[in-house]
Amino acid sequence: MELRTIEDLQLQTATSKAKKDASSLDQDDFMTLMLQQLKSQDPFKPTDNTEFISQMAQLTSVSGISEMNENLAGLTQSLYSAQLLDASSLIGKDVLLETDVAALPISGKVKGQVNLPTSTTALDIDILAPTGEVIGKVPLGPQQAGAVNFEWNGVGLDGERMPPGTYQIRANYLNGTTLEAAATEIRSEVMSVSVPATGGTPLIQVQGLGTVSMSKIIEIS
């Protein structure tokens, strides 16, 4: 078995320390380096006071940065917990989201609204099949500019209730003599919530719409 002298072990330790990433040096490492420098300096040419004070300032800076990082880590964890708690309160509630897709439940209605940029003599909500065919319609007639609520009871053009599932919603209004499209906003139930491990805006799982960012919520009811 190979025997190693104390000098060999010391050399190995020094080499290992030298390979340590400077970005990972902590306060103890910095103090060790300073003490080693003091031991190794020429007694006839000691380190200048100004330089020594500068090094002490660096030590204080390193210590402050280390404490700040610890505080930020704690703050991040607190914010993560608060976000998760706030987001979890949405489960079971309806949220209003801008989308052209709606989920028709087994029983019940699809609810939403349209924000008209101008008054109109006719506003219609079309319900489309995946093929693009219009299978349902909600005529709303003349409307003033602003938010207009609508409901679809799930009944198709043939008078029969449509099967539960996801349907495309389209809003059209007359602007003078021109037929124009308007964005639709749909109310859907929040099924679950999650917060990314890396932080950021919480995500909500909405019935029929999948996962969307919590920042996309327009209204909670």
pLDDT in tens, 61-105: 655 666 676 666 555 555 555 666 667 788 889 999 999 999 998
The chain-wide mean pLDDT, for the chain, equals 78
For residue 14, pLDDT over 70 is answered with: no
* Architecture of the CATH domain 94-187: Sandwich (2.60)
Residue 91 main-chain phi, psi, to 5 deg: -60, 130
Confidence (pTM): 0.61
Task: Tell me how many helices (H) and strands (E) the chain has.
Answer: 3, 12
Residue of higher predicted confidence among 35 and 209: 209
pLDDT > 70 in the chain, percent = 60
Residue of higher predicted confidence among 86 and 160: 160
Task: Please enumerate in sequence order all residues whose Cβ is within 8 A of that of 182, keeping only pairs 6 or more positions apart, or say none.
Answer: 114, 115, 116, 117, 123, 171, 172, 173
**pLDDT computed for residue 88 by the predictor:** 77
**pLDDT computed for residue 3 by the predictor:** 46
Residue 112 pairs in a beta bridge with: 150, 186
